[in-house]
Structure 1
Amino acid sequence: MILKIRFHACLLMPLVLCLARPALAENSRPVSAPVTVYVQEALDERGQVQAIAPGLVKFFQFFERETGLHFIPVSMPWNRAKLMTQEGKGLIWGFSKSPERLARFDFSETVLRSRIWAIAYGEPIMRLRNVTDLQGKILSVERGVSHGMEFELAKNKVFKVEEDTAQSSARFRKLLAKRSDVLLWGLVQFDRQDMLLDYLYKIYLPSLRDPELLGKKFYVSSTPLFYDSIHFAAAKGHFGKEMQKIDVAIRLGLKSGELNRLVNAVD
């Protein structure tokens, strides 16, 4: 979701990123056998997988220091990451809860909460204030991504969902072409519409380097339409001890404020 710690490509669309590369533990504890952590790949404007963001490296370093575990982040498409996790081959980071997932995975305590905004384009301007305003609309979400329990309960009842590539520019171009009505965008940092729009136009869209998107006037919902809790997760019956250590680290990090600083850090 893609979880953007400002995990920039993560801004969650959705909050997770990149190439397989271990985060280097900075601690004096004995380090256990490496634990693979699957994260959602983020694609650049050419469709190439982006390298892991410095903010995410520091995030995993925090958990290594607090748990004594050694994490090896592996970036891959989200559906494949879910499958590998379900087969007990590693943990997954950036996972949202859904009724289906709760039956198959054990979740850590909540690491962060993401605000899920709606973005649209063109005339007539839709009212986007709550879930009921999405009635009958086609929503673009990243392939394999959930936006939490309320989203799952409304999916295919209030609105329809089309799962799209993780390449952000392609999703925005789909809005321009009227092939979707609304794009859902998960962000941790911003709680006001004006702050989101400022980031969208001054930083995010220019960073995509897509001339088709420059100068286009998208609009966003007045408030987030969903709120999503973000977790580590493991297949049921796997990595129980590791998940316990992660939960302890989450509680400590939230109490000290270090985790909040990490997930809101600027790259």
Structure 2
Amino acid sequence: MEVRSGDKDAVVKIALFGQEILDRDGRPTKETQGVKRFLDYFRREAKIDFSFQRLPWRRAQAMTLEGKGIIWEFSKNKERLLSYRFSEPVMSSKIWAIAYGEPHLKLDHINDLRGKTVAVERGVSHGMEFDDAAGKLFRVDEDTASAAARFRKLMAKRSDVLLWGLVQFDKPQDLINYLHQMYIPSLQDSSLNGVKFYTSSKPLFLDTIHFASKKGSYEEVMQRLDVAIRRGLASGELLQILREM
């Protein structure tokens, strides 16, 4: 649904596509209260009532290019810039490398990934620098949307590192504490209980995260989003919501 120029104060309902998140049994996980607050923010500030659907990532991208809705948590790369209209950046995601076993790999810089097998979620880009290096500096192993499966792959040495994008951590020890104390237990996979992983000394990539539409589609909606993003980042309200997601 498009918004006509005379309807800028009307609430418009639009499909919003996100990446599916599966539990250890391959079932979709429930949305968090943080995601609900995020969507509520844009309904209030941009007058957009999103019908949020999590889909396999390639399907979400295809449906966006068919003009059936807008995609979220989307990062820029050279190929996507040809076909998608990106919103203002909503957040910057720090991309950390996670690894397992002894001896610890040196993970201080992107060049430390040379010759390694790097696990990422299928259809995911971690930005332009990642795309430039993928398949040249390191091998990419695309995997399912099950986080537990990717961690089990690390333990089985079927990949050397996995890449994990997070907003809220600047120090590796804070990330490790969150990983072992909160995130791994939330996966409810007994094979991961007590297993210790380690991380790169710093984020290896930085990636901006956006909404995006097919070029030429939903332009007034995208303009509404841009205004709401700028307002929310300036006030700090959107940043607070993002930290809780």
Q: TM-score, normalised by structure 1?
A: 0.87
Q: What is the root-mean-square deviation of aligned Cα atoms in Å?
A: 1.2
Shift of 1:70: 1.6
Which residue of the partner structure matches residue 199 of structure 2? 220
Matched, 1:77 2:47: no
Which residue of 2 is the match for residue 174 of structure 1? 153
- Equivalent position amino acid for 1:209 in 2: Q
Percent identity (aligned) = 53
Shift of 1:264: 0.5
Q: Is 1:202 aligned to residue 181 of structure 2?
A: yes
Q: Secondary structure at the match of 1:103?
A: helix
Residue deviations 1:44-64 (CA, integer Å, cap 9, x gap): 122100122111111011111
Q: CA shift at 1:121, angstroms?
A: 0.8
Matches within 5 A, 1:180-195: 180-195=159-174
Asked whether the 8 Å contact 1:31–1:70 carries over to 2, the reply is: no
CA shift, 1:112, in A, is 0.3
Give the letter for the 2:173 counterpart: D
Note the C-alpha offset of 1:149. Answer: 1.0
Aligned residue among 246, 254, 261 for 2:233? 254
* Higher RCO, 1 vs 2 (CA within 8 Å, ≥6 residues apart): 2
* Counterpart residue identity of residue 128, structure 2: M
Task: Show structure 1 runs of 5+ residues with no match.
Answer: 1-28
User: 2:78 maps to which residue?
Assistant: 99
Q: Which secondary structure does the structure 2 equivalent of 1:128 belong to?
A: coil
- Aligned amino acid, residue 195 of structure 1: D
Q: Return the letter of the residue paired with 1:128.
A: L
2:29 aligned residue: 50
- In structure 1, C-alpha distance between the alignment counterparts of 2:50 and 2:196, rounded to whole Å: 41
- Paired letter, 2:37: K
Q: Which residue of 1 aligns with 2:42?
A: 63
Structure 1 residue 30, shift from structure 2 partner = 5.1
Deviations 1:162-202 (A, max 9, x none): 11011011000000111101100011111100100100111
Gaps in structure 2 of 5+ consecutive residues? 1-7
Task: Specify which of 129, 141, 149 is matched with residue 120 of structure 2.
Answer: 141
Structure 1, residues 203-224: CA drift from partner, whole Å, max 9, x if none?
1111111121112221100000
Query: 2:4 matched to which residue of 1?
Result: none
Q: Name whichever structure is richer in helix by fraction.
A: 2
Q: Which residue of 2 aligns with 1:158?
A: 137
Task: Give the aligned residue type for 1:63.
Answer: F
> Which string of whole-angstrom CA distances, capped at 9 and with x for unpartnered residues, describes residues 125-172 of structure 1?
110001000001000000111111110111111111111011011000
Residue 127 (structure 1) aligns with:
106
SS in 2 for 1:123: coil
Q: Secondary structure at the match of 1:38?
A: strand
The alignment of Structure 1 onto Structure 2 pairs a total of residues equal to 238
